[in-house]
Amino acid sequence: MLHTLKVYKVHQPVELVYDEAGLRITGDLHAHKKPKAGRTCGCIPLPPPKVSDPTLLPIDNTNLLQVLYNDQTHMIQIHAIIPQQPDKVDSPVDLYKFIYSVEKGQEQDCIDFCTTVMTGAYKGLLTKKRLKVLINPFGGQGKAKQIFESQVRPVFDAARCSVDVQYTEYQGHAIKIAQDLDIQSYDAIVTVSGDGVIHEVVNGFLQRPDARQAIRKVPLGVIPGGTGNALSICMLGEKQGFDPVMAAVQIIKGRSLALDLCSVTYDDHRYFSFLSQNYGITSYADLGTESMRWMGDARTVLGLLKEIMSGNSYGMEAAVHIVEDNKETIQSQYESAHTSATWIELAESGDGEDHRVVDTIPALTESVPEDWTKIDGKISFFLASKTPLLARGMLSHPYALPNDGLLDLLLVRGNYGVMKQLGVFDKVEKGDHLDSKIVRQLYKDNFFFKKKKIHSLSLFLFG
């Protein structure tokens, strides 16, 4: 069904047409943004870059942030995200604000039109969200504050979100903030950082006496502001996962998704992990490039190459509870899960339920169960993960599922030599490394080396 509204830009008539897919603006001849100042090559001025017409195509529901009538100015305001290159799926986007005059006597028609558009644009999602925003001004390349103020805040303001900003002041500060957070006062907690502050928020929530209720009640929104931003690229892709504007839109217009967490016990210390658990080449590559965070995610590639070229292998003793180890079966289960996936709302914990997160896994001092597989010797890779991407260009676990209760483990035993390991590394960008004979892929739910158990976390993900 089409809904139309006639408005004016100065004296120029403009027609707004809305259907179930989106909003079309017809007649606005000057809607495009002014191009940036002209560039020069030597002393020769270059023409300004071409700017596409934002009204050329309908504005998709996902990109409509706010449509409202201002009764003081008798104007309709439209806030939306418009792709710079509409023909490209992962195009960069710009924030637009369209303002048109409404004729006297048409006020109620305009209000009804705005209600219809907002209902279709949000489709049952919460509007005007209350966001607790944590910014790490020191992490990654030190640009988180600038990213938020210049790119993210304008999007939140356009969607009329209420924003409570707090800067983390020391390592572990976000743990304390999450522990003390009033979960009834916010609809989401947003991190503007790399994956480190996300890790702190998760652990802060799960140390609360109402841990299960808190982690279901307050979903986690992620704005890429760090070095690797692994979780962000897993949700939005390798390009848009580094786009703060798209990440902000995801928080506003996304639906929550449950992600398994891993409980890790080391000596008498326990924490929770949401990305990877690794030993061997990948762990030493990460540790060896800690001082190179200024390089961005390129440091991951450099570290891996350095470790592979060193020819090292690493001794370990572990016990793994394997659920599946056939690569074809794992791929088939992944494809089946994707084709049959449906959205199910994450139920809140009941009033009579124990809200604490209690570790029920046997102690490390106890004997290994008979049906577990032991690994005792030299390895090159021991890399477990809940997410498919560890960095841009590293599709290490292409069949990882967010909430199947299992960990994906890549295992390379022994030392196969530099050339064979480089061959695996060369194929990891597209996930083709699983075809290598030296790579073993396993589905597991627990392992002793660092022992783990699954819990759940809410994240924002587009439906």
Q: What is the CATH number of the domain that holds 102?
A: 2.30.29.30
Is 397 inside any structural domain? yes
Is 258 inside any structural domain? no
Same-domain status, 295 and 441: yes
What domain count does the chain have?
Answer: 3
Q: Which residues of the chain have pLDDT under 70?
A: 32-52, 140, 284-285, 287-291, 293-300, 344-364, 415-426, 438, 440-463
The Cα–Cα gap between 234 and 182 comes to 29
What pLDDT shows up at residue 410?
A: 84
The Cα–Cα gap between 206 and 178 comes to 9
The residue out of 106, 122, 138 marking a domain boundary is: 122
Tokens of 21: 């897919």
Q: Which of 407, 425, 416, 433 is nearest to 379 (CA)?
A: 416
Same-domain status, 149 and 223: yes
The residue out of 253, 282, 317 marking a domain boundary is: 253
The residue out of 253, 284, 305 marking a domain boundary is: 253
Q: 22: domain range?
A: 3-122
What pLDDT shows up at residue 193?
A: 92
What pLDDT shows up at residue 42?
A: 56
Is 243 in contact with 229 (CB distance < 8 Å)?
A: no
What pLDDT shows up at residue 455?
A: 47
Is 262 inside any structural domain? no
Same-domain status, 73 and 180: no
Same-domain status, 172 and 59: no
Is 85 inside any structural domain? yes
Same-domain status, 309 and 396: yes
Same-domain status, 183 and 58: no
Q: Which of 12, 362, 390 is nearest to 230 (CA)?
A: 390
Same-domain status, 220 and 169: yes
Tokens of 267: 């000596």
Same-domain status, 118 and 142: no
- Which residue type occupies 463? G
Is 427 inside any structural domain? yes
Same-domain status, 78 and 138: no
What pLDDT shows up at residue 382?
A: 84
Same-domain status, 12 and 94: yes
Which CATH number does the domain housing residue 174 bear? 3.40.50.10330
Same-domain status, 314 and 426: yes
Q: What is the value of pTM for the model shown?
A: 0.85
Same-domain status, 295 and 435: yes
Is 461 inside any structural domain? no
- In sequence order, what are the residues at sequence separation of 6 or more whose Cβ sits closer than 8 angstroms to the Cβ of residue 58? 19, 21, 22, 23, 24
Is 110 in contact with 70 (CB distance < 8 Å)?
A: no
Which CATH number does the domain housing residue 420 bear? 2.60.200.40
Is 329 inside any structural domain? yes
Is 463 inside any structural domain? no
Which run of H or E residues covers position 175?
A: helix 173-180
- Number of helices (H) and strands (E), helices first, in the chain? 12, 21
